[in-house]
């Protein structure tokens, strides 16, 4: 499968933080969930991809091209949303449409106004009177109204209520029905990623812990809850991380099918993206 975005050994240093050899790929027709705790390096990675900050080293390839910085076609093929409002508060939807129409060669006024109707955003009010969720919907609509092929969304669903999020997630799923499109979605709302992501890239303290398909994670990883004796007897080669509370252990294991073959009386629970992140960040090795 061809990759729409490929990040190889990306490095960027700040005085107190280093993005360290970050690598991952996003195949066409897929949604990549980008997860990690606060300060893990998600926005720094995204800004490097978008050339908003200068990387120290590494290779970023978008749509098969490495040096895309001044390539208008590539830049216009990306729809970007950050978690803060990028429009002037005094503007109305009509003003925004007029401005974006001049910026994007492929601006699609029809699609934009369809989104405005769908999201019930008033076109006579200034942005100042919009709630956080309304501003977020507006930004998402703008990102999806110029025939972008890659959406890069940094915490773009964080201000939305569960109903609006569900509506947006459906729109994302629609978007990738076109096999030439893809989405990079950084989010702390891991239940959203459980619902729609095809791949998960997990970054911790500037380093990639894993970048895998969600099916692979779901099939292979599992949680065993047991007492001290069972934990001591356990084949340690399967343990990724464990958490201990009083005399009980919760253990995140890899290769669930293999583990179950040799421990057929042990219950291995399925885990969520949230569980995996919690074990990696807070569990013991
Ligand atoms: N311009 C900068 N100068 C110095 N340090 C910076 C700069 N920008 C980011 N950092 C540091 O880089 C680290 C990673 O920040 P980043 O915003 O990439 O994290 P994040 O994973 O997006 O976090 P969050 O989930 O909170 O948005 C943080 O420690 C941050 O303080």
pLDDT in tens, 132-166: 889 989 999 999 999 999 999 999 888 889 998 99
Residue 238 makes CB contacts below 8 A (sequence gap 6+) with 253, 254, 255, 258, 259
Q: Is 18 exposed, middle or buried (0-12, 13-18, 19+ CB in 10 A)?
A: middle
pLDDT digits (tens, 9 = 90+) for 86-107: 788 899 999 999 999 999 999 9
CA distance 244 to 246: 7
Residue nearest to atom 8 of ligand 1 (CA): 44
155, 186 contact by CB (below 8 A) = yes
Q: What is the set of domains in the chain, with CATH numbers?
A: 3-217 (3.40.50.300), 221-282 (no CATH)
CA distance 209 to 202: 6
Residue nearest to atom 31 of ligand 1 (CA): 39
Ligand 1, CB cutoff 6 Å, lining residues: 14, 17, 36, 38-44
- Cα within 13 Å of Cα(186), Cβ side: 22
Average pLDDT over residues 199-212: 96
Whether ipTM exceeds 0.90: yes
Query: Given ligand 1 and candidates 17, 38, 40, 49, which is best to mutate, with the most ligand atoms within 8 Å of its CB?
Result: 17
Residue nearest to atom 6 of ligand 1 (CA): 14
Two structure tokens written together for 171: 């729109």
CA distance 163 to 165: 5
Give the pLDDT confidence score for residue 87 in this predicted structure: 83
249, 243 contact by CB (below 8 A) = yes
Residue nearest to atom 3 of ligand 1 (CA): 14
Q: How many residues does the chain have?
A: 285
Q: Is 66 a residue whose pLDDT tops 80? A: yes
Residue 234 makes CB contacts below 8 A (sequence gap 6+) with 224, 226, 251, 263
Average pLDDT over residues 212-227: 92
Query: Given ligand 1 and candidates 43, 186, 205, which is best to mutate, with the most ligand atoms within 8 Å of its CB?
Result: 43
First and final C-alpha spacing in the chain = 34
**Residue percentage of the chain with pLDDT more than 70:** 99
CA distance 37 to 142: 28
Q: Is 219 a residue whose pLDDT tops 80? A: yes
Q: Are strands 239-245 and 248-253 parallel, antiparallel or unpaired?
A: antiparallel
Residue nearest to atom 12 of ligand 1 (CA): 17
Query: Given ligand 1 and candidates 7, 33, 34, 41, which is best to mutate, with the most ligand atoms within 8 Å of its CB?
Result: 41
Q: Is 1 a residue whose pLDDT tops 60? A: no
Task: Encode 129-155: b = buried (16+ Cβ within 10 Å), e = exposed.
Answer: ebeebbbbbbbbbbbbbbebbbbbbbb
């Amino acid at each position: 499968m061809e990759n729409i975005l490929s990040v190889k050994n990306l490095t960027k240093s700040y005085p107190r933080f280093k993005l360290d050899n970050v690598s991952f790929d996003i195949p066409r027709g897929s949604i990549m969930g980008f997860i990690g705790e606060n300060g893990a390096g998600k926005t720094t990675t995204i800004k490097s991809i978008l050339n908003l900050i200068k990387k120290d080293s590494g290779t970023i390839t978008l749509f098969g091209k490495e040096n895309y910085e001044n390539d208008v076609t590539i830049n216009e093929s990306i729809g970007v949303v950050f978690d803060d409002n990028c429009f002037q508060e005094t503007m109305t939807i009509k003003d925004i449409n007029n401005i974006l129409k001049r910026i994007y060669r492929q601006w699609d006024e029809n699609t934009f106004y369809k989104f405005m109707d769908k999201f019930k955003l008033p076109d006579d009010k200034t942005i100042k009177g919009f709630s956080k969720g309304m501003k977020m919907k507006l930004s998402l609509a703008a990102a999806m109204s110029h025939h972008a092929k890659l959406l890069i969304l940094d915490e773009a669903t964080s201000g939305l209520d569960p109903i609006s999020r569900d509506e947006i997630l459906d729109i994302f799923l629609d978007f990738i029905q076109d096999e030439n499109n893809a989405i990079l979605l950084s989010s702390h709302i891991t239940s959203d990623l459980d619902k729609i992501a095809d791949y998960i890239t997990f970054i911790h303290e500037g380093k990639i812990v894993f970048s895998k398909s969600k099916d692979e994670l779901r099939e292979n990883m599992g949680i065993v809850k047991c007492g001290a004796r069972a934990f001591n007897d356990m084949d340690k080669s399967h343990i990724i991380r464990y958490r201990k509370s009083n005399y009980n252990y919760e253990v995140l294991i890899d290769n669930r099918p293999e583990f179950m073959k040799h421990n057929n009386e042990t219950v291995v629970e399925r885990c969520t993206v949230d569980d995996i992140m919690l074990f990696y960040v807070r569990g013991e090795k």
